Structure 1
């Protein structure tokens, strides 16, 4: 018998000697993958919107001389904080003091002439009543009193003007703020024109403005939610918070006090402004910050955890499981990002269970082994 035939016979005999159970055994199916799930629940969801902003001064006032002359003194430190009414500059007052003295003398003269005209009037009226004096004399005396009274009024006006000019020789701060560098040094001849009257600039830094721009989509959403919250009224108080470039938060909240009524045709955004208290001058004009607008909320919304959202060729989706623990793909339409995940606009409802962990092993239509069910509201907190 050939050797090959003998080997075949021996192999067949050995196979016949094996137990039947060993021959029939096949590889077992893998167990369902372990996953963690989250049960969605409708809840009140606060909304926030974040934009790039820039700090600007609340007011910036140019301090100008209102009378001309030699600038004798600067009574403040450049860059220092000043209060409204503080003395900043003094112009040489000699000329204006002399004008006040001259106007006072003219007023005294006019008052003396009025007193004399009044006495003459009394005598003329008395003589006319006795039919001793003429009617013309009486009328002239009455007119003289009227002219003297007018002269007194004119003299008082001249004195007031001279006093105002003398007061203007002392330049005071019109507002609270921080002063700029000197524009003209002491000893300079200043005037009252547009080119030679500027002395310094005061910038009011408490409070300050933060300017930013809202996109038109957010504005439409804010107005819609505001009308829902206020039963048709669109007015709602929005607050703003600031985050700096290093991630630190400004400890004072601001209030939005202006929103443009038209859209910028170049950027497609709507200009807005918030006002912030700045007692420590921590906010500097020109500084770039992140502005977060708050004050809006959804009364009842579904929020899906961010880790549950997947991206596929047809868009975003999540894995959900049914009462038999079978996974399926559920397309979702998402809204704003909020604390705890994304607002679901379409695709999910309260009570749905979404897979939040172990999704890499999940296959649509295959069973899974959920480890625990976490309430969505607890996960968000």
Structure 2
């Protein structure tokens, strides 16, 4: 009996020992595995002079635009230009049937010749009677009557001359000329059609060299623009989208006299030589206005700047190859670069790709081509 009791005791002690060993093993904490380094692309913050620019969407307008209309009633006898062609100032565009106007001019000239003869006779007769009145042969009333007739005839001559001048003007209106040099549009009425005075526009001529670009900027930018305009002629660039050669340089020629209260913007206009005719009326362009130069500015690639709940930030790669989240203040963005006003020093390395996988303090892995670019202490 004693031996059986001893066996059970030994078995109980062994079971307790095993349970204590298992309990001790379960309380031991496993060491956390190290997180792998996050592959990223980086760039170095640089210090350089950056132009201060304003950008806007502009609309191209002709330097001058004239709607050509007939000033007399008539029938189109001849068209002297092709639609969409270049014309010079004074070039003949359309001729109306001139016969009726030529006849009116001839009639006025004939009336002048008749009245000149009558005026000459009346003047000579009045002169004879003036001498007879002095001699007492005729009465003064007779002389006054003849003198009045002479003056009336002279007035008729003046009226005839005015009628001739008007007839010549009307005849000249049959020959419709371009008042400016430019490019014609589409002719609305063709050969043989009747036109009325000051009715339909026959054709529109646009002057496109030089040419205008009209655009608007926020009113908060007005003080900078006014200051820059007071110092010098403000340069402006018009860039045609999707055209690598569609860039033209000009100057600001107009600043509106009031801010649009509905939109909070103010209208400006730039003038361009447009010698190569890269700009075309009605076209939309990207307008870049250079106000000045920001010297020794700190710049980073724009893709390095991220936006979080606390505002804008960048990830800076420290010498131990860990990422530091750094709040930044961005002054402006242009040309794919952000001007950093506060938060990053020149020479520091910032992450430009792979930020979504980063957390503050995370290890980073640089591409082999960029290893060694991080700032050394």
TM-score of the alignment, normalized to the shorter chain, above 0.5: yes
Aligned mate of 1:286, from 282, 287, 293: 282
* Conservation of the 8 A alpha-carbon contact between 1:45 and 1:298: yes
Q: Is 1:211 aligned to residue 214 of structure 2?
A: yes
Out of 112, 116, 126, the position equivalent to 1:107 is: 112
Q: Is 1:355 aligned to 2:352, yes or no? A: no
> For 1:67, what is the secondary structure of its paired residue?
coil
Take 2:250 and 2:192, find their aligned partners in 1: how far apart are those partners?
Answer: 44
Q: Give how far 1:155 is off.
A: 0.5
Distance change >3 Å, CA 117–CA 88, structure 1 → 2:
same
SS in 1 for 2:248: coil
1:145 matched to 2:158? The reply is: no
Report how many aligned residue pairs link the two structures.
Answer: 334
The residue matched to 1:253 in structure 2 has which SS?
A: strand
Question: Hey, what does 2:75 align to over in structure 1?
Answer: 70
State the alpha-carbon separation in 2 of the partners of residues 225 and 202 from structure 1: 33
Query: Which residue of 2 is the match for residue 237 of structure 1?
Result: 234
Q: Deviations over 1:190-248 (max 9, x none)?
A: 32252xx543332333233333332x2xx423523653x68xx588624223232x251
User: Is 2:224 aligned against 1:224?
Assistant: yes
* 1:304, distance to aligned residue in structure 2 (A): 4.8
**What is the alpha-carbon root mean square deviation over aligned residues?**
4.3
Query: d(CA) in 2 for partners of 1:187 and 1:312?
Result: 71
TM-score, normalization: structure 2?
Answer: 0.71
Q: After TM superposition, list the pairs within 5 Å mapping 1:237-276 onto structure 2.
A: 237-244=234-241, 246-260=242-256, 261-263=258-260, 265=262, 267-276=263-272
- After TM superposition, the structure 1 = structure 2 runs for residues 1-381 of structure 1, keeping only pairs within 5 Å, are 44-192=49-197, 194=199, 197-214=200-217, 216=218, 219-221=219-221, 223-224=223-224, 226-227=226-227, 233=230, 237-244=234-241, 246-260=242-256, 261-263=258-260, 265=262, 267-298=263-294, 301-304=297-300, 306=302, 309=305, 311-318=307-314, 330-338=326-334, 341-347=337-343, 354-356=348-350
Do the aligned residues in 1 keep the contact of 2:237 with 2:248 (CA within 8 Å)? no
| Conserved 8 A contact 2:45-2:350 | no
Q: Which runs of 5+ in 2 are unaligned?
A: 1-40, 364-370
Where in structure 1 are there 5+ consecutive unaligned residues? Answer: 1-34, 375-381
Whole-Å separation in 2 of the counterparts to 1:78 and 1:237: 37
User: Partners of 1:66 and 1:310 in 2: how far apart?
Assistant: 65
